[in-house]
């Protein structure tokens, strides 16, 4: 923005048309509006028409700033990645820091409902994805991990985080669709699974039938961290 926009025009000049103020429409505005809709209405609610409506314009106008819906989703995704906070790297504490990064990343993806659904679909080459990759990769390298292992580790941990967040977003979507609250939905979902398991013939599914309680015991957070720790422990065993 120029610095002159707050200076009133000289009175002897005819007042210009009511100053555009509405003819802005930039990529940033579109991405922001898209994220707002994604948070409020989910991925199913995010259409180009809906974004245009949010900006008081027609859908065709968006295509001057964004190639297509897929690109818009990638832009939104990288914007969300920008919210991820990274501690100063301390290679001596690589296990803790890797764990913290994963949980932080998972938290951010989860806090924006359906963004994870777009995450898996996009190849992460945005500036924020790179910033995060450099952080995690550097952390492992500086901790002494072989570059090849560090490379694979970054890739696999990212896949795991995104996959879990994606699965979570599907539940969130179902929850929204049914209109239930988070608690209600969760109870009803687990209840369905439980009764389904209990109705199974014990002779054909002996192990499942015997351990139904264990199968439905843990919630999403415990599951996520369990799998994460599996991977981190595996990595620690490979550390020279």
Is position 19 an interface residue for a second copy (rule: CB under 8 A)? no
Is position 208 an interface residue for a second copy (rule: CB under 8 A)? yes
Nearer to a second copy, 16 or 148 (CB): 148
**What tokens were used for 175?**
């929850």
In the stretch 138-177, what mask flags binding to DNA with x, by CB under 7 A? Answer: ----------------------------------------
Q: In Å, how far from its chain's centre is CA 238?
A: 29
Q: Is 57 within 8 Å of 25 (Cβ atoms)? A: yes
Burial bucket for residue 32 (CB in 10 Å: 0-12, 13-18, 19+)? middle
Given candidates 40, 67, 125, 182, which one binds a second copy under the rule CB under 8 A?
125
How many other CB atoms sit within 10 Å of the CB of residue 236? 13
CB of 164 to a second copy, least distance (A): 6
CB of 25 to DNA, least distance (A): 3
3-class state of residue 192 by DSSP: helix
- DSSP assignment of 145-183: --HHHHHHHHHHHHHHHHHHHHHHHHHHHHHHHHT--HH
Given candidates 60, 92, 199, 237, which one binds DNA under the rule CB under 7 A?
60
Is position 217 an interface residue for a second copy (rule: CB under 8 A)? yes
Nearer to a second copy, 52 or 143 (CB): 143
| Dihedral pair phi/psi, residue 201, rounded to 5° | -70, 125
In the stretch 175-204, what mask flags binding to a second copy with x, by CB under 8 A? Answer: ------------------x--x---x---x
**How much of the chain is in helix, strand and coil states, percent to nearest 5?**
70, 0, 30
89: left (phi over 0), alpha (psi -120 to 50) or beta: beta
Q: Is 90 within 8 Å of 42 (Cβ atoms)? A: no
Residues 211-240 that bind DNA (CB under 7 A): none
Which of a second copy, DNA, none is residue 22 near (CB under 5 to 8 Å by kind)?
DNA
For a second copy, the binding residues (CB under 8 A) are: 120-121, 123, 125, 130, 133-134, 137-138, 141-142, 147-148, 150-153, 155-156, 159-160, 162-164, 166-167, 170, 193, 196, 200, 204-208, 211, 214-215, 217-218, 222-223, 226-227, 229-235, 237
For DNA, the binding residues (CB under 7 A) are: 16-17, 20, 22-25, 46-50, 57-61, 63-65, 68-70
């Amino acid at each position: 923005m120029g610095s002159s926009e707050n200076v009133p025009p000289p009175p002897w000049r005819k007042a210009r048309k009511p100053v555009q103020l509405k003819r802005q429409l930039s990529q940033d505005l579109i991405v922001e509006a898209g994220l707002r809709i994604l948070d409020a209405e989910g991925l199913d609610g995010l259409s180009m028409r809906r974004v245009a409506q949010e900006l008081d314009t027609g859908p065709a106008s968006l295509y001057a700033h964004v190639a297509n819906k897929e690109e818009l989703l990638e832009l939104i995704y990288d914007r969300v990645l920008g919210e991820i906070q990274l501690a100063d790297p301390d290679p001596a504490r690589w296990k803790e820091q890797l764990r913290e990064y994963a949980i932080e990343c998972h938290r951010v993806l989860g806090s924006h409902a359906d963004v994870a659904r777009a995450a898996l679909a996009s190849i992460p080459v945005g500036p924020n994805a790179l910033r995060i990759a450099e952080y995690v990769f550097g952390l492992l390298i500086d901790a002494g991990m072989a570059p090849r292992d560090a490379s694979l580790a970054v890739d696999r941990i990212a896949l795991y985080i995104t996959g879990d967040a994606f699965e979570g977003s599907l539940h969130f979507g179902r929850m929204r669709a049914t209109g239930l609250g988070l608690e209600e939905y969760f109870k009803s979902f687990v209840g369905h699974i439980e009764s389904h398991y209990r109705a199974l013939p014990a002779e054909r599914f002996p192990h499942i039938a015997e351990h139904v309680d264990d199968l439905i015991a843990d919630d999403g957070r415990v599951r996520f961290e369990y799998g994460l720790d599996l991977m981190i422990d595996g990595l620690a065993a490979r550390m020279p």
